[in-house]
Amino acid sequence: MKTKMSLLASGAIWLAGFAFAGSAYAADEATQNAGIDVTADNFSCVNDMTRVRHFFVDNLLGDLEGTLAAANSPNGATYPPGSVVQLVPSEVMVKHRAGYNAATRDWEFFELNVSEAGTVIDKRGFVDVVNRFGGNCFACHIRAEPQWDLICEKGHGCEPIEFTREQIAGVQAADPRCK
């Protein structure tokens, strides 16, 4: 009887240790796949970001070099986690860690309200964010060919937008957060 109890106790300790180790693994995996903590404070004057052709980029995790490499790749590339891509002051995309949202290839879309006082996030999400003009962000960006990682530019497969580069540059220059 003592032997059976010892074996049962040893088994229980082993299982408890396995469950603890398993939960630690699950916690590590959850941390790895956790989204990046994005707040309105992450978004300021669009012109303070790094310009790439006609849009701006940054990286919330400090990997601006990786973001620039993806943005400047002539053949397309997957943007690193933390990448911020912004065409106009009121709309932005943020790349989360791999596995965060498979439908959007880990991009989160934001509709911002910008003023001299700063930034307010009006809408954020994945496949359901609609901008102030009635356009669904994901519905447009999903048309980009896979190698462009949902980034729309001429020749990437997305529908063209109805604004000229000059009009876009005017909106960028008029960002009220820039002082």
Confidence band for 34, pLDDT divided at 50, 70 and 90: low
pTM: 0.80
User: How is residue 32 written in tokens?
Assistant: 């790895």
CA nearest neighbour of 149 among 77, 80, 55, 75:
77
Tens-digit pLDDT profile for residues 105-125 = 999 999 999 999 999 999 999
Residue 179 predicted with pLDDT over 90: no
The arithmetic mean of pLDDT across residues 149-168, rounded, is: 93
CA nearest neighbour of 150 among 97, 114, 111, 109:
109
